[in-house]
Amino acid sequence: MRPEDDYTHPVGPEVNFNESMYFHVHDPGAGLGGFVRLANRPNEGRGEMTICLYLPDGKVAFAFQRPEVLSNERFDAAGLRFVVREPFQHIDITFDGEVFVLDDPSQLADPGAAFRGSRELRCALELAITGVAPVFDHTFETGEESFAPHHYEQLLSARGRVRIGARSTEVVGYGLRDHSWGPRSWQAPWFYRWLHGSTDGFGFMAAWFGRPDGSAIQGGFVWDGTELASVDSLRIVTERDDRDEQTGITATLEAGGREWIMTGKVLSKLPLRNRRQDDNGEPQVTRIVEALMQWSLSDGTALHGMSEYLDQIVDGRPVGQEV
């Protein structure tokens, strides 16, 4: 990666060209975690903005918009803004807008009903993001439709403040960011599992992209505070509830001649979805379950992060039940 890659890139010719950044932050002391994402899709004339904050009382503050976006000059839409102050070192995040506060995050399985039955509050967010490890670049291409041909991730620390309604919370925590650009279709992966967790001086990311024929792309990294090691082997075992959503995860990562076993429990989760029609006009539904995680290493080290489980829905069920 070059320093200029931390900024936006020239728009490609693809109708579904996408450039996006994602930031996850968790402060265990404040009991607050979550992520923000902003994507530019200028060839479609729109963007994607997501705010997801898991609150200490178990509620979730959530917002999603598709604002008008006609260029790829900056990340600034629907009240959310990312400004790169120093590539790979310092990024400022601000948000000023409305969020829905959901008492029961599972209500998002029916977004319309969830929003109609939830309070809407003003949210202001200011975070200073600092890179704490080298960037890790890789691709999520599966050989079918494109998903993330240019992609990198980086562990981070964050300081700032989040205000929802009248309640303001100081945030001091760790997390992970990603940045990708190129054509993206949410229906390209048959299913994927994206896991990450971090704390002071340690962090990991693991990815598993499954194909219909049973093969998979695996990857990721482990950062031990000194070296960033690429994952050579990955095993994931998932516990699920009656909605086929993850409740517990065991991930075994082999990297740099060492093995780590990450045991994770879901602290809070919510189901999102993406819908489109295929070339024959048939509806396609993609489910993405976003879960706030607490991970434990065998030595007792506690990490916090996320698990993102994307599945195509066939005959009413997610396809990736084996992972």
Q: Residue 144 has what pLDDT?
A: 62
In terms of Cα–Cα distance, which of 202, 204, 210 is closest to 226?
202
Size of the chain, expressed as the number of residues it contains: 323
Contacting residues for 125 by C-beta, under 8 A, at least 6 apart: 36, 51, 93, 94, 95, 96, 160, 161, 162, 163
Which residues face 69 on adjacent strands? Answer: none
Q: CB–CB of 217/317 below 8 Å?
A: no
Query: Phi/psi zone of residue 113: left (φ > 0), alpha (ψ -120 to 50 degrees), beta?
Result: alpha
How far, in Å, CA of 209 to CA of 320, rounded? 10
| Per-residue exposure over 28-65, b if at least 16 CB sit within 10 Å of its own CB, e if not | eeeebbbbbbbbbbbbeebbbbbbbbbbeeebbbbbbb
Q: Residue 179 has what pLDDT?
A: 97
Which residues face 305 on adjacent strands? Answer: 197, 293
Q: Measured in whole angstroms, how far is the alpha carbon of residue 70 from the centre of its chain?
A: 24
Neighbours of 23 (CB within 10 A): 22
According to the 3-state scheme, what is the secondary structure of the chain? CCHHHHCCCCCCCCCCEEEEEEEEEEECCCCEEEEEEEEEEHHHCEEEEEEEEECCCCCEEEEEECCECCCCCCEEECCEEEEEEECCCEEEEEEEEEEEEECCHHHHHCHHHHHHCCEEEEEEEEEEEEECCCCEECCCCCCCCCCCCEEEEEEEEEEEEEEECCEEEEEEEEEEEEEEEEECCCCCCCEEEEEEEEECCEEEEEEEEECCCCCEEEEEEEECCCCEEEEEEEEEEEEECCCCCEEEEEEEEEECCEEEEEEEEEEEEEEEEEEEECCCCCEEEEEEEEEEEEEECCCCCEEEEEEEEEEEEECCEECCCCC
Q: Residue 221 has what pLDDT?
A: 97
Q: CB–CB of 271/263 below 8 Å?
A: no
Q: Residue 147 has what pLDDT?
A: 78
Could you tell me the pTM of the whole model? 0.95
Q: Residue 140 has what pLDDT?
A: 75
C-beta contacts of 137-140 below 8 A and 24+ residues apart: 137/1, 138/207, 138/219, 140/189, 140/192, 140/207, 140/209, 140/217
Which residues face 247 on adjacent strands? Answer: none
Q: Measured in whole angstroms, how far is the alpha carbon of residue 225 from the centre of its chain?
A: 22
Q: What is the pLDDT of residues 117-142, one digit of tens each?
A: 899 999 999 999 999 999 999 887 76
Q: Residue 160 has what pLDDT?
A: 98
Q: Residue 141 has what pLDDT?
A: 73
Q: Residue 187 has what pLDDT?
A: 86
Q: CB–CB of 140/207 below 8 Å?
A: yes
How far, in Å, CA of 217 to CA of 221, rounded? 14
Q: Residue 54 has what pLDDT?
A: 97
pLDDT along the chain (323 residues), means of 10: 95 95 97 97 97 95 96 98 98 98 91 90 98 91 72 97 97 97 89 97 96 92 96 97 97 96 97 81 89 95 97 94 95
